[in-house]
């Protein structure tokens, strides 16, 4: 048998001379014992050109067997299914778009990609409508909290979002429900906290205007530690904190100027763990600054945000849900689920942050969790 590369070169010459049947015969010969997906894709192109879309689809499938996520091959598969009016064509366009590479695409693909995006979007809309119709009777009986969960269920099915899990860096307590943002009904003190927004914001202003305030970088760790996600923000004043309570210790210089804030905190069920918590601070994020995706140390506690100074466009993502901070609108989330933030504005963003016990933990569980963390706390930065 001739060298496959020689046969392919001959097939290319035949194709250039528009001798497509000869090119097809040669490529079939070259593909007999081949495994190179690019060769099967070339054969599929010739087969489509000679009006054999079903044969071309078979060749595309042989290429995908070796490279199942190749964007160009998936685009060809979708276009062939479209030509064959196959019922899976719309889904195939969506599968192709899911593998679209980052960056600029070759100019010859622009029209096909635009078609693929349009068809994929239409398919997703059709699926969404079908799911909404199927679930409508159940949703009529659901409250607002449950409707949010059902909406996320649909979103996960449609792959608009995905499942995120609690992945604490150090302390994972088993059997706890995984929620990104936790329901307000579990925290009866939220209304009182929000009602105190102006008082807390006023004390924040007093602290900022005082020469006695202690403002420190939010992230401080030794340079030799393997924490690359924080490297750009380590000891960086783009993200700073004014601590009122830090790793279980009252920061007197700041707390003394915030008596009303401290009184509000005293009514909240914060963990008391030596060397670790409670924690409470004003978190200051500079303009045009991003906080990279990260997770916290323990899923036995949750974190509350009370936005105080929030320029337009500042957002916060936990898992698959993104929220825009609104002044005076507090929320509680699980910081052991991947989260990140961005201040895209030209102004400073400030949020009041503190930790709380997970409300479902029994007294004996809290005691055991605290004891374990205290035993590990020396040398471990276990706070916020």
pLDDT of residue 2: 63
Mark out the alpha helices in the chain (DSSP H runs).
4-16, 20-30, 37-49, 53-66, 71-83, 89-98, 110-140, 144-157, 190-195, 197-209, 252-255, 259-265, 363-376
Residue whose token pair is 């925290």: 187
Indicate the DSSP class of residue 345. Answer: S
Contacts of 64 (CB under 8 A, 6+ apart): 37, 70, 73, 74, 77
Contacts of 135 (CB under 8 A, 6+ apart): 150, 154
| Lookup: tokens for 374 | 């205290």
pLDDT of residue 29: 86
Burial class (CB in 10 A: 0-12, 13-18, 19+), 292: middle
pLDDT of residue 225: 47
pLDDT of residue 132: 95
pLDDT of residue 319: 97
Q: Where in the chain is the domain with CATH 1.25.40.10?
A: 4-122
Strands of 321-324's sheet, edge to edge?
289-294, 339-343, 315-318, 321-324
How many C-beta neighbours within 10 Å does residue 200 have? 20
Q: 331 has which bridge partners?
A: 305
Contacts of 373 (CB under 8 A, 6+ apart): 171, 273, 275, 276, 298, 382
Regions of the chain short of the pLDDT cut 50: 1, 220-221, 224-225, 229-230, 235
Closest CA to 306 of 178, 149, 189, 207: 189
- CA pair distance 332, 37, nearest whole angstrom: 50
Class at the top of the CATH hierarchy for domain 181-376: mainly beta
The CATH number that domain 4-122 falls under is 1.25.40.10
pLDDT of residue 266: 96
pLDDT of residue 325: 97
Q: Where in the chain is the domain with CATH 2.60.120.330?
A: 181-376
pLDDT of residue 215: 56
pLDDT of residue 31: 86
């Amino acid at each position: 048998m001739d060298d496959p590369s020689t046969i392919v070169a001959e097939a290319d010459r035949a194709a250039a001379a528009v001798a497509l049947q000869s090119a097809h015969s040669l490529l079939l010969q070259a593909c007999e014992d081949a495994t190179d997906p690019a060769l099967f894709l070339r054969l599929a192109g010739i087969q489509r050109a000679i009006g054999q879309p079903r044969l071309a689809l078979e060749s595309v499938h042989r290429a995908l067997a070796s490279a199942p996520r190749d964007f160009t091959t998936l685009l060809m598969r979708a276009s062939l299914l479209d030509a064959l009016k196959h019922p899976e064509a719309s889904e195939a366009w969506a599968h192709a778009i899911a593998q679209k590479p980052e960056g600029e695409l070759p100019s010859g693909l622009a029209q096909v990609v635009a078609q693929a995006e349009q068809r994929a979007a239409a398919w997703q809309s059709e699926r969404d409508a079908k799911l909404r119709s199927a679930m409508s009777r159940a949703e009529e009986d659901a409250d607002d909290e449950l409707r949010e969960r059902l909406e996320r269920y649909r979103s996960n099915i449609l792959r608009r979002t995905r499942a995120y899990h609690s992945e604490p860096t150090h302390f994972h307590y088993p059997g706890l429900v995984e929620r990104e943002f936790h329901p307000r009904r579990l925290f009866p003190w939220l209304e009182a906290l929000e009602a105190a927004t102006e008082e807390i914001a006023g004390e924040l202003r007093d602290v900022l205007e005082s020469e006695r305030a202690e403002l420190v970088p939010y992230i401080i760790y030794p340079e030799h530690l393997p924490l690359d996600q924080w490297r750009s923000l380590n000891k960086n004043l783009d993200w700073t904190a004014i601590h009122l309570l830090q790793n279980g210790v009252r920061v007197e210089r700041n707390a003394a100027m915030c008596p009303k804030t401290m009184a509000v905190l005293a009514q909240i069920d914060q963990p008391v763990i030596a060397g670790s918590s409670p924690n409470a601070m004003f978190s200051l994020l500079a303009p045009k600054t991003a906080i990279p995706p990260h997770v916290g140390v323990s899923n036995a506690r949750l974190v509350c945000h009370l936005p105080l100074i929030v320029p337009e466009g500042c957002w916060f993502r936990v898992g698959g849900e993104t929220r825009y901070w609104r002044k005076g609108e507090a929320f509680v989330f699980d910081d052991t689920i991947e989260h990140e933030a961005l201040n895209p504005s030209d102004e400073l963003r400030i949020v009041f942050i503190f930790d709380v016990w997970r409300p479902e933990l029994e007294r004996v569980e809290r005691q055991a969790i605290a004891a374990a963390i205290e035993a590990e706390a020396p040398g471990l930065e276990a706070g916020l």
